[in-house]
Structures are given as structure tokens and as C-alpha cells.
Amino acid sequence: MEQYRVTQQCGTEPPFRNAYWDNHRPGIYVDVVTGEPLFTSLDKFDSGTGWPSFTKPIDKSNVVEKSDRTLGMERTEVRSSQGDSHLGHLFDDGPGDKGGMRYCINSAALRFIPVEKLQEEGYGKYLPLFEKKK
């Protein structure tokens, strides 16, 4: 199963052939293993890489950054803090006006919860993020 290969064996899914690279619906993305909240659609942007990309996590304490030298280069791996799931990698080529970071995340590591389902799925505390600023 792709989710297991990605989250538990540090795999990478193919670009442009994954569930969320082109998802533009409002909502949050949670760890597919534990359900811990990781990213919001408000921080998602089109990086052109074919993977979901975010400028920052929903809560910095929900992600862990680790050094990764597996491909003969220095990269920063991103993992969920509770489930220790491999999520993807962090790069410094994101939008400059939003901090310059790009969390390049595998769709297989995520479950998307649309804003209209946040309350019923137990993530109601994130609803205010999506209310129109007056």
C-alpha cells in the first residue's frame, strides 16, 4: 500500500499522480496514520513540483525536522511528531513573502478534511482559521 510505503518506509510518491497536488478546496490536512493536524489549505501553494506544498505547518509542534543524507545530498526530512510518519521534505525555495519555506509533502501521508466536515470530524477548533476576516 502506498500510504504504508511513504509513511513507514520513507517512500516518495510520483509527482502529479497523487491525490492532493492540485487540490484547491478549503480545509486541513492531517496525518493519515494518527489524524494529527499538519497543514491548512490557507498555507498551500502551487510549487509546480507535482506534490502538495505548504509555507508552514498548522502548528510547528506537530512536525519534526530531521537531517536526511540518503540521496547523497543534504535535505531536511519532515515527519509527524506524534505518529513519526514520514511526510516529505522541507526546502528553502518557497514564496519569499510567506517566509521562503516549502514543505513538500506526499499526498499518501495525508488525509484531507474539507472545512464543512471539520466540526463533525473533531477538528472544529480550526474553523476560525477559515472565517472571513472582517
CB 56 within 8 Å of CB 66: no
Q: What is the pLDDT along the chain (134 residues), one digit of tens a residue?
A: 899 999 999 999 999 999 999 999 999 999 999 999 999 999 999 999 999 999 999 999 999 999 988 878 889 999 999 999 999 999 999 999 999 999 999 999 999 999 999 999 999 999 999 997 54
DSSP bridge partners of 87: none
Point out the catalytic residue in the list 63, 101, 104, 109: 104
Residue 10 is among the residues annotated as catalytic for this protein: no
DSSP codes joined into one string, 61-105: GGEEEEEE-TTSS-EEEEEETTT--EEEEEES-S-GGGTS-EEEE
Q: Each residue of 24-42: pLDDT tens digit?
A: 999 999 999 999 999 999 9
The amino acid that residue 64 corresponds to is: V
